[in-house]
Amino acid sequence: MRALGIFLLAFGLLAPVHAAETVTGRVSKVLPLLLDLQGRAALSPSLFDRDAYQAQLRAHTNQVSAIRYDVLWTAKNAGAAKLKIRVELRGVGTGNLPRFKTLETAAAAPGRWGRWTSLTLGGDDFKSFGTVTAWRASLWDGDRRLGEEKSFLW
């Protein structure tokens, strides 16, 4: 009888430890999209039209006003965690000088299948940055990185 009592006491002490699971998450997809002078990434909702318009914007850079990174991410056991999305950019500016820029925003509550979060580099920052050569998008819980997705050249 005493052994059963000790077993139940030990099990009762370990149960709350199991209930406090750590936050896990990942970045599933990142879409870097050029925006035109009106802030549009596409002229219609068609994915084919979006890709064709993105090719046109890449060919005619004078029509580009910003670049937007759409990040698809998921998180489990987030609860009240302060999650954030960070996009780090590497590029080449005027005079072939290297550039580095970090975009960061607080992440809303995660959805069941994931959530899209957009971060935009525009205005004077976009003009002075130059050409983006590599990017890395990551999901953070405080100072702990939960997941990341990066471009080939990162």
Total number of residues shown for the chain: 154
User: Any idea what DSSP says for residue 41?
Assistant: S
pLDDT at residue 80 in the model = 77
Task: Mention every residue, 6+ apart, whose C-beta is less than 8 A from residue 63.
Answer: 36, 37, 56, 57
pLDDT at residue 29 in the model = 96
pLDDT at residue 35 in the model = 97
The tens-digit pLDDT sequence of the chain (154 residues) is 676 666 666 666 655 555 567 889 999 999 999 999 999 999 999 999 999 999 999 999 999 999 999 999 999 987 778 899 999 999 998 888 999 999 999 998 877 788 999 999 999 999 999 999 999 999 999 899 999 999 999 9
Per-position b or e across 12-34, b if 16+ CB within 10 A of its CB: eeeeeeeeeeebebbbeebebbb
Q: Which domain holds residue 99?
A: 22-150
Domain assignment of residue 6, yes or no = no
Residue with tokens 């999305």: 85
pLDDT at residue 8 in the model = 64
Domain assignment of residue 40, yes or no = yes
pLDDT at residue 109 in the model = 80
Domain assignment of residue 92, yes or no = yes
Domain assignment of residue 15, yes or no = no
Percent of the chain scored above 90 by pLDDT? 69
Task: Mention every residue, 6+ apart, whose C-beta is less than 8 A from residue 116.
Answer: 70, 71, 72
Domain assignment of residue 26, yes or no = yes
Answer for the pair 129, 91: CB distance below 8 angstroms, yes or no: yes
User: What CATH number did the domain enclosing 31 receive?
Assistant: 2.60.40
Domain assignment of residue 11, yes or no = no
Domain tally, the chain: 1
Domain assignment of residue 7, yes or no = no
Domain assignment of residue 77, yes or no = yes
